[in-house]
Amino acid sequence: MEVLLVEDDAAIASSLRIGLEASGFTVQHVTTGAQAVAAHDCDIVLLDIGLPDFDGFEVCRRIRAISDVPIIMLTARNEEIDRIFGLEIGADDYVTKPFGLRELIARIRAVTRRRTSSHNEQSAAYVVGPLSVDVSTRRAVLNEAELDLTTKEFDLLAYMAEHPGVVHRRNDIMESVWDTNWYGPTKTLDAHIAALRKKMGDPRWIEAVRGVGFRLEEPR
């Protein structure tokens, strides 16, 4: 698997490169946003937010406009608004520094494994009131308007739409939508739920059941 590492800090980049290559990855390292957008033929992008020319959010937006390659953002920013913004513009995951190499590798494998699995899914379509989710074409339409969803947002919505009205436990969602070998605690699920609610225009579509998980159903 070829990793595009976008990181301008030489020490961090060197450490990551050594660790990733020791774990069997091929690493292509660039230091600017322009180089990242121009790069080709990678299987996943590890994208730092603080870059010398333009920030990682803009890099993510530009890459996503031309490619659906998985993107994991790496940042020292841990505010929820930053995580949500990164996910909304197309990132598949958001890892806050400092992080361990084991966690990063687990997230790389989770993102790529889920992406591969989603590409191989059999045809399926779910309808919940005015919401339709077509797994084969990976399109979600609400009130006759197509939702602009990231890869993980679509996977999450499709998972819940398969059984509307059912309360899905947090652990079950993480295991099914992300990966059974997910490493370490994360608020990624909450950030994706928040992003989905915003894009669907009515937070009542996804109800939080305290201490259990989330339920998708048509607002009444």
Do 58 and 85 fall into the same domain?
yes
**What does the pLDDT read at residue 123?**
54
Do 181 and 196 fall into the same domain?
yes
Do 88 and 177 fall into the same domain?
no
Do 110 and 136 fall into the same domain?
no
Do 110 and 184 fall into the same domain?
no
- SS3 for the chain, per residue? CEEEEECCCHHHHHHHHHHHHHCCCEEEEECCHHHHHHCCCCCEEEEECCCCCCCHHHHHHHHHHHCCCCEEEEECCCCHHHHHHHHHCCCCEEEECCCCHHHHHHHHHHHHHHHHHHHCCCCCEEEECCEEEECCCCEEEECCEECCCCHHHHHHHHHHHCCCCCEEEHHHHHHHHHCCCCCCCCCHHHHHHHHHHHHHCCHHHEEEECCCEEEECCCC
**Region for residue 17 given its phi and psi (left: phi exceeds 0; alpha: psi -120 to 50; beta: otherwise):** alpha
Do 128 and 112 fall into the same domain?
no
Which residues face 145 on adjacent strands? 142
Do 100 and 34 fall into the same domain?
yes
Do 104 and 127 fall into the same domain?
no
Do 131 and 31 fall into the same domain?
no
CA dihedral defined by 185, 190, 192, 197, rounded to 10 degrees?
A: 170
Show Cβ contacts of residue 151 under 8 Å, excluding neighbours closer than 6 positions. Answer: 68, 70, 92, 115, 118
Residue 53 and residue 85: Cα distance in Å, rounded?
A: 20
CATH at 168: 1.10.10.10
**What does the pLDDT read at residue 208?**
93
Do 70 and 88 fall into the same domain?
yes
Q: Where is the domain boundary, 85, 118, 151?
A: 118
Q: What is the pTM of this model?
A: 0.58
By the 10 Å C-beta count (0-12 exposed, 13-18 middle, 19+ buried), 103 is classed as: middle
Do 62 and 165 fall into the same domain?
no
Do 142 and 161 fall into the same domain?
yes
Cβ distance 6 to 48 under 8 Å? Answer: yes
Q: Where is the domain boundary, 99, 118, 137?
A: 118
Domain count, the chain: 2
Digit-by-digit pLDDT tens for the chain (220 residues) are: 899 999 999 999 999 999 999 998 999 999 999 999 999 789 999 999 989 999 999 999 999 888 889 999 988 766 667 777 777 788 888 888 888 888 898 888 888 776 655 555 545 789 999 999 998 888 999 999 999 998 889 999 999 998 899 899 888 888 788 764 554 455 788 999 999 999 999 999 999 998 889 999 999 8
Range of the domain at 95: 2-118
Q: Where is the domain boundary, 118, 141, 172?
A: 118
